[in-house]
Amino acid sequence: MDTRLLRTFVTLARAGSFTATARALHLAQSTVTVQIRTLEKELGTPLFDRMPSGTVPTRAGLRLLEEAEEVLDAVARLHATAAAGQRDAAGGTIEGRVAVAAGDSLCSSRLPAVIASLRRTHPRLDVELHSAGTATAVDGLRTGRLDIALLLEPEVAESDLLARRIADEPLAYVAAPGHPLAGRAAGWEELAGECFFVHEEGCSYSDRLVRTLLGLPGARPRITRFGSIDAARSCVAAGLGLTLLPRATVERHLHEGRLTVVDGPEAPPVPVQLVRHRRRWFAPGAQIVADELTRTFAAA
């Protein structure tokens, strides 16, 4: 059996649409359709129901899903074993590609140092970095597009994922130096009427802030959400309002005097969870990257 068909099947089962599957696998949508039909013909049973809301695995498809993932995992181990033999003959160099996803704040503040360190110690190990929110990262782990995800979440409850808390990111309320609240204490009553520029929906600490502000009696905050932390930070630096961001993402701006801290209500540090798929094989290269991430975050 052609394992490409199984990979397309697994991706479609997780993604829920032919369009998303084609995008994830960098294939034409017609190619995805042909591959699924070929697999269904080979196995002698329909694997998906085509619904108006998307593509849903049939009972046979659901039974096949875990088996297909195990086959793909075994194939990955075979390739890795062969590559390990070549590495041993060549002196033990670890090589390969490791796909890592993290939120925008970690991509811009913490991960460049990790990648730089790995390039020095393992020059043939290619780290592929993706900026992604929690939902996209979890989907990537499930479809096999990602090996590791770093999630800024209090907990990760999905049963098919393994999560380990490796650090806590301190948060800070910040404003431009000329803002009326700059450098002084401010309670929820004062913040409730301010303009806030925060990260997009799905960001745990931004969502918590927005829920709190909107839940205050008589509150009328103006909230603008961005997919980019840089955009939110730039609006605040221009004097348009406040934001709540991981301290690491504003440290340089604070040092240069473009932003200043507002002593606002308590904002607990947000946990950093290192997440991988529970059943999928974790390659030696991925373990090296996970160890370096753990070491770097612990040091920070």
Q: What domains does the chain contain, in order, with CATH numbers?
A: 3-69 (1.10.10.10), 93-168+271-299 (3.40.190.10), 171-268 (3.40.190.10)
Q: What is the tens place of the pLDDT at every residue in 85-103? A: 545 444 556 778 899 999 8
Helices 247-256, 229-237: crossing angle, 10 deg rounding: 30
H or E stretch including 174?
A: strand 171-175
pLDDT given at position 159 = 86
- Helix, strand, coil shares, percent, the chain, to 5: 50, 25, 30
Nearest Cα to 196, choosing from 234, 230, 242, 229?
Answer: 242
* Cα(111)–Cα(106) distance, integer angstroms: 6
In one-letter notation, the amino acid at residue 84 is: A
Residue 283: pLDDT band (50, 70, 90) is: confident
Looking at per-residue confidence, does 97 or 237 come out higher?
Answer: 237
The pairing of beta strand 161-169 with beta strand 270-277 = antiparallel
H or E stretch including 235?
A: helix 229-237
Looking at per-residue confidence, does 88 or 144 come out higher?
Answer: 144
Residue 278: pLDDT band (50, 70, 90) is: confident
Output the CA angle 128-18-274, nearest 5 degrees: 30
Indicate yes or no: pTM above 0.85: no
* Cα(59)–Cα(47) distance, integer angstroms: 8
Residue 108: pLDDT band (50, 70, 90) is: confident
What value does the mean pLDDT take over residues 57-86? Answer: 78
Residue 82: pLDDT band (50, 70, 90) is: low
